[in-house]
Structure 1
Amino acid sequence: MDLAYIPSPSQSVWHLFGVVPIRGYALAIISGIVIACVITEVRLRRRGAAPGTVIDIALWAVPFGIVGARIYHVITSPDAYFGVDGVPMDAFAIWKGGLGIPGAIVAGALGAWIACRRLGVPLSMVADALAPGLPVAQAVGRLGNWFNQELYGGPLDAWWAVEIDQQNRLAGYMDVATYHPTFLYELLWNLGLALLVWLLDRRLKFGKGRAFALYVLGYGIGRFWIEGMRIDPAQDFLGLRLNQWMSVAIIVGALIYLLRVEGKRDVLVPGADGVLKAVPYDSPEALAGEADVDADETVTEDDDPDEESEDEASRDGETGDAGENEKATEDGKV
């Protein structure tokens, strides 16, 4: 069947055992967080971090990030909660949708900083490890907007337009059925950004938070473009939506960071006191650590040097005994 548009989900909530609500928006957010944690865990281990480090950091960063994202959304869209027809208590109803990524980044970074201080891991290293995983998480999370039929763009008559049910259409658009699927635009943009960050980081070995700054730069550019398509009510200033001004700010900030901050990728190695410390990946300490690991991996039970020495000594003893027996036999014959 040829589709003239992208249909919206027929429902966004399922009830487990008829009682517990399972919301598509929440599933999208949680799935994105899990994927980001897995990607970051792999990248942190390759930098010398202990297994499970990302979980210790996520326990701080995720709650901070969710709260920050919600606060940012409420501040930038106050009419829905404190306007004439607003419902103030809905400011706490996260499951109904409404999370601002800039707020999540700032507050999540604060939570991650607290965790990194407790663990003794550089925040910049964690940020660089997170850089490709975060846009993947955002891409998956954008599916939540699709389930909620929210944050769509202007009217569009094309095969990739998304259909919005009448009860979810904005005032003044009740007779318009299909719109720009801004959730899909941002999903694809973020996946492309994740691939770009991963490829450049693999080639250039960014350090000191520069991979994360590249992600912030790319996200800001994409968000500025996509935000301009949206038609939901928002605060504006000088013809631009508030989120577009925020995008400009983070673009400028990311560019300044990339131009001013230099440094190679760090890895964690044991210090003289046994405590992990961060050193450049190509430093003698880091290379020595890799050599030690390679040496440990090549030594097995079959080629243990101590066992080889014992085997050689045993063979020498057996050879000596055999030689003496042969000599005694010859003497007897004589």
Structure 2
Amino acid sequence: MSLSLLAFTFTSPGPTLFELGPLSVRWYGFLIASAVLIGVTLAQYLAQRRGVDPELIGDFAIWGVLAAIPFARLYYVLFQWDVYSQHPEQIIAIWRGGIAIHGAVIGGILAGLIFSRLNKLPFWQLADLVSPSLILGQAIGRWGNFFNSEAFGTPTDLPWKLYIPPERRPQNYIDFEYFHPTFLYESIWNLFVFAVLMVLFFRGERERNLKPGTLFLTYLAAYSFGRFWIEGLRTDSLMLGPLRIAQVVSLVGIVLGTLGLVWLYRFNRRLPEIVPQESD
């Protein structure tokens, strides 16, 4: 198949989905809400198959959202503090974009630790049940970057390319029109990881050989691997000196996820309980 048959130029129609009087609904918020709804439904289905009360997953979803969104925004703002310190009124303007998935994951993990303790639900079991929903939600949410014309890559002439309006281009690329659609790359990668997790879930259900923590550790390593190389294309990475923060965090995720899986299957050990069970 020739590249010309794959040619497609992505052009965002803008961040607003629709307006109704003074009410403006943005694509970003709509996609996040849709991702949460789909994710909760999926996680409840998986929980039911594992003999876990689906209502617990619904309850955790509230905890997860309440923790993930503020942490995602806080993470982003902290690494862009030179900008937000000059415009503090924009710190809460999450509808304009500017959240970091690594911050959301950190917030979700903290919420999971507390929720697991309060509900006496093994943390690794909870993490496994929500991991497919998490990566699917990331695949959906990445399209919010498309509508906001953000999180794009360096200039490109590839048949698949993203048009960025002049006001959204970095100053050093102001004369370029087309850029790598990194939102698309990551969305496709996340869908691939989602497929892998679902295959592992159902294979483990059939063969009964999937150890607690496997899905979460696979998510951690696989997502981080894709994010590391995609982040290298982006023009708007959060930086700490010369380092791209997302790449540093991704390297940590790759190492932790891989070592955890080796611990589970190479050394045939169980992961330590993060949240100790209360004694009778």
TM over 0.5: yes
Pick the TM interval, shorter chain: 0.7 to 0.9
Matching of residue 134 in structure 1 with residue 134 in structure 2: yes
Task: Tell me what 1:217 maps to.
Answer: 221
Q: Is the 8 A contact 2:10 2:160 kept in 1?
A: no
* Structure 2 residue ranges without an equivalent (≥5): 272-280
Deviation at 1:241, TM superposition (A): 1.0
Equivalences for 1:1-334 in 2 at 5 Å? Answer: 5-82=8-85, 86-204=86-204, 205-232=209-236, 234-237=238-241, 239-261=242-264, 262-263=269-270
Deviation at 1:169, TM superposition (A): 1.0
Query: Structure 1, residues 103-143: CA drift from partner, whole Å, max 9, x if none?
Result: 11111111122223332222211111112221110000000
- Partners of 1:75 and 1:129 in 2: CA distance: 30
Task: Tell me what 1:272 maps to.
Answer: none
If the length of structure 2 is used for normalisation, what is the TM-score? 0.86
Q: Is the 8 A contact 2:237 2:244 kept in 1?
A: no
Q: Is the 8 A contact 1:125 1:207 kept in 2?
A: no
- Partners of 2:185 and 2:132 in 1: CA distance: 18
Q: Is the 8 A contact 2:150 2:168 kept in 1?
A: yes
- In the alignment of these two chains, the number of paired residues is 259
Deviation at 1:253, TM superposition (A): 1.3
- Partners of 1:8 and 1:248 in 2: CA distance: 32
Query: Structure 1, residues 38-94: CA drift from partner, whole Å, max 9, x if none?
Result: 111001111112232211111111110111111111122333313xxx422222211
For residue 91 of structure 1, what is the amino acid of its counterpart? I
Q: Is the 8 A contact 1:124 1:207 kept in 2?
A: no
> Which one has the largest radius of gyration?
1
Task: Please give the secondary structure, in 1, of the residue aligned with 2:9.
Answer: coil
Q: Is the 8 A contact 1:5 1:158 kept in 2?
A: no
If the length of structure 1 is used for normalisation, what is the TM-score? 0.73
Q: Is the 8 A contact 1:40 1:133 kept in 2?
A: yes
Higher relative contact order (CA 8 A, sep 6+): 2
Task: Please give the secondary structure, in 2, of the residue aligned with 1:121.
Answer: coil
State the identity %: 35
Task: Please give the secondary structure, in 2, of the residue aligned with 1:21.
Answer: strand
Task: Please give the secondary structure, in 2, of the residue aligned with 1:11.
Answer: coil
Q: Is the 8 A contact 1:201 1:211 kept in 2?
A: yes
Question: Per the alignment, do residues 11 and 25 of structure 1 end up closer, same or farther by CA in structure 2, a change over 3 Å counting?
Answer: same
- Partners of 1:10 and 1:51 in 2: CA distance: 38
- Partners of 1:5 and 1:88 in 2: CA distance: 39
- Partners of 2:211 and 2:237 in 1: CA distance: 40
Query: Structure 1, residues 280-325: CA drift from partner, whole Å, max 9, x if none?
Result: xxxxxxxxxxxxxxxxxxxxxxxxxxxxxxxxxxxxxxxxxxxxxx
* Structure 1 residue ranges without an equivalent (≥5): 265-334
RMSD of aligned alpha carbons? 2.0
For residue 216 of structure 1, what is the amino acid of its counterpart? L
Task: Please give the secondary structure, in 2, of the residue aligned with 1:7.
Answer: strand
